[in-house]
Structure 1
Amino acid sequence: MNAANEPLRRLPDDQVGLVVEVFRMLADATRVQVLWALVGREMSVNDLADHVGKPAPSVSQHLSKLRMARLVRPRREGTTIFYSLENDHVAQLVTDAVYNAEHAGPGIPGHHRGTGALKAETGA
């Protein structure tokens, strides 16, 4: 069933608040880079910091906020903490946001150029 055939429903206020918080987390360039890096993989804080070009303490603060918003989850292995996306919905949200942004640029979006183009860009 597609959305046009579903009855119109209003979201409960508490759910709207949670949605707003998710979008607030996506309103920061470093957090978007971190989330995009975690699509399909797990990474340590130091690897994420190297990837996004920010100091590890700064990335750690962003990860703390993302964890509180239930967008990422930590896993400890010895003294190293690894992060991954909380669930497939977060991965889909981040991927859709990136793909939507690609449509705003010139030319054919990377995700429309074939499966190899985006995989090469993301390392997936």
Structure 2
Amino acid sequence: MAKRKKTESKTTPRSDDTPSCDGHGHLGPLVRVDPEACERAAAIFRALGDPQRLRLLILLEAGERCVSELCSALDEPMPAISQRLRLLKSERVVRSRRDGKHIFYALADDHISRLVTNGVMHAMELNVH
């Protein structure tokens, strides 16, 4: 096994052992990122990350649908669809509305709509190239 040659670091540690950069330009001050917002965003991405849940969201992209419509469109049993919708609702990805015996689901807001649309469009582009 060959020994690795030590290379000099391009950063110079400050007195508090935090690295700092030398001699190159920066875009400007860094924005502080709220750790709680990152946790919430990661939970949303986990909810979006399942192909079956994503299929549900794509159907909801077109508009509000009742559970039976979703079951029919996806050819899946109601318990499976309901479980997925429950998780998506808990992460505030979808919202629900009751009308008599029917519960209708829709995407929570335009942010979710754009995430779903952009994710699917990006995946479709990857297939072309």
> What TM-score comes out, normalization by structure 2 length?
0.75
Looking at structure 2, the residues matched to 20 and 49 of structure 1 have their Cα atoms a distance apart, in angstroms, of 27
Check whether the contact 1:67–1:73 (CA below 8 A) recurs between aligned residues: yes
Aligned equivalent of 2:45, options 12, 15, 23: 23
Is the aligned partner of 1:49 residue 2:55? no
- Judging by fraction of residues, say which structure has more helix: 1
Q: CA deviation at 1:72?
A: 0.4
Q: CA deviation at 1:99?
A: 0.5
Looking at structure 2, the residues matched to 79 and 104 of structure 1 have their Cα atoms a distance apart, in angstroms, of 42
- Cα deviations across residues 94-117 of structure 1 (Å, max 9, x unaligned)? 00000000111026xxxxxxxxxx
User: What's 2:118 paired with?
Assistant: 96
- In the superposition, relative to structure 1, how do residues 8 and 79 fare at CA in structure 2: closer, same or farther (>3 Å)? same
- Judging by fraction of residues, say which structure has more strand: 2
Cα RMSD for the two superposed structures: 1.5
> What TM-score comes out, normalization by structure 1 length?
0.77
Question: Percent identity, aligned pairs only?
Answer: 35
Q: CA deviation at 1:46?
A: 1.0
Gaps of 5+ in 1: 108-124
Q: How many residues align?
A: 103
Looking at structure 1, the residues matched to 82 and 96 of structure 2 have their Cα atoms a distance apart, in angstroms, of 11
Q: CA deviation at 1:47?
A: 0.7
Q: Give the partner amino acid of 1:95.
A: T
User: What's 1:77 paired with?
Assistant: 99
Looking at structure 1, the residues matched to 70 and 54 of structure 2 have their Cα atoms a distance apart, in angstroms, of 12
Looking at structure 1, the residues matched to 110 and 28 of structure 2 have their Cα atoms a distance apart, in angstroms, of 24
Which protein shows a greater Rg? 2
Q: CA deviation at 1:7?
A: 4.9
Check whether the contact 1:30–1:52 (CA below 8 A) recurs between aligned residues: no
Is the aligned partner of 1:14 residue 2:33? no
What secondary structure does 1:105 align onto?
A: helix
- In the superposition, relative to structure 1, how do residues 15 and 49 fare at CA in structure 2: closer, same or farther (>3 Å)? same
Give structure 1 regions of 4+ aligned residues with deviation exceeding 6 angstroms: none
Gaps of 5+ in 2: 1-26
